[in-house]
């Protein structure tokens, strides 16, 4: 019995020693450790919680400048081979489109507080100059939709290199920041040219118009489903994806810039949302959808 008692005593002492070894305060074997509060670590009653950082983004800017290409000029939306800026998704005055500027500013302020500086046919190399023009007007918001023409070249070999595209976009933002450091920027993704091809190729009129040379890198020989034609279209689509990656990455470095997250690229324009004259540019309804996508992103808290 004494042997068993001595054994139990030795085990208890060893266990207590091991428990004390891991304690924050010292204790001796066989003695209870100091009691700690069950409420957790003590707090300084005067200490205030760290406030969340204030967002620099204003969901209701009071003026809008739009830069970009033919989509922002609403080319072929009202009549063949003509700009129709009154139905532009960005700054138009047409109530059926309900442009971004109309939604943000109200119809009475659109004329005096919004500017459409886009140019049909423009490529990214032109964006720095357009941004300088926007900065001169001190807008609270600048919309950017540019890049489709960099991919829509006569052949894939003539598409703007991705590194050049990045340099031009970075230069454009720097030009804006020089003249309007607090302007917010909304950047729309480049539309999916592959989707436009797959939608328009079912239209006999679209096929005929495309033969005139519109976006040859993607739309040339539109009925050809051979391996070479498929590789060519895939190369163009890959370039569009690369452009959108650049837009996202460069915009992310600017605290007053919001990329659309690929919303325009992912939007599936149907026949009624494409121009009946070229089956490529957005129609009035297509312009309205672009305005909706932009407004949703810009006003998100």
- Evaluate if residue 299 carries a pLDDT over 70: yes
Predicted confidence (pLDDT) per residue in 227-282, tens digit = 999 999 999 999 999 999 999 999 999 999 999 999 999 999 998 999 999 999 99
Beta bridge partners of 116: 66
62 and 139 Cβ atoms separated by less than 8 Å: no
152 and 76 Cβ atoms separated by less than 8 Å: no
Predicted confidence (pLDDT) per residue in 15-63, tens digit = 333 333 333 333 333 333 433 344 444 445 455 555 555 678 999 999 9
Of 301 and 170, more confident: 170
pLDDT of residue 54: 61
- Angstrom distance (rounded) from CA 71 to CA 264: 12
Please give the C-alpha separations between residue 62 and each of 36, 58, 109, 197, 257, in angstroms, as whole numbers.
57, 9, 9, 38, 16
Q: What percent of the chain shows pLDDT beyond 90?
A: 78
């Amino acid at each position: 019995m004494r042997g068993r008692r001595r054994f139990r005593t030795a085990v208890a002492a060893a266990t207590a020693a091991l428990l004390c070894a891991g304690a924050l305060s010292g204790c001796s074997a066989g003695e209870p450790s100091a009691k700690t509060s069950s409420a957790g670590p003590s707090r300084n009653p005067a200490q205030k919680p760290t406030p969340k950082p204030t967002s620099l983004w204003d969901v209701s800017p009071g003026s809008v400048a739009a830069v970009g290409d033919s989509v922002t000029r609403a080319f072929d939306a009202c009549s063949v081979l003509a700009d129709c800026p009154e139905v532009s998704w960005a700054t138009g005055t047409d109530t059926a489109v309900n442009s971004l500027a109309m939604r943000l500013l109200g119809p009475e302020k659109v004329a005096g507080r919004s500017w459409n500086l886009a140019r049909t046919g423009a490529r990214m190399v032109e964006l720095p100059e357009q941004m300088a023009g926007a900065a001169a007007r001190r807008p609270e918001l600048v919309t950017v939709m540019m890049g489709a023409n960099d991919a829509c070249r006569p052949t894939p070999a003539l598409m703007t290199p991705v590194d050049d595209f990045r340099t031009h976009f970075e230069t454009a933002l720097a030009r804006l920041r020089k003249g309007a450091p607090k302007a917010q920027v909304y950047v729309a993704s480049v539309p999916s040219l592959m989707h436009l091809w797959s939608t328009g190729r079912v239209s006999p009129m679209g096929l005929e118009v495309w033969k005139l040379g519109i976006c040859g890198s993607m739309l040339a020989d539109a009925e050809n489903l051979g391996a070479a034609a498929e590789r060519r279209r895939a190369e163009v689509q890959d370039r569009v994806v690369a452009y959108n990656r650049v837009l996202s990455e460069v915009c992310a470095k600017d605290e007053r810039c919001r990329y659309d997250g690929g919303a325009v690229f992912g939007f599936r324009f149907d026949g009624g949302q494409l121009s009946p004259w070229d089956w490529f540019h957005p129609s009035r309804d297509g312009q309205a959808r672009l305005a909706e996508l932009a407004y949703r992103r810009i006003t998100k808290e």
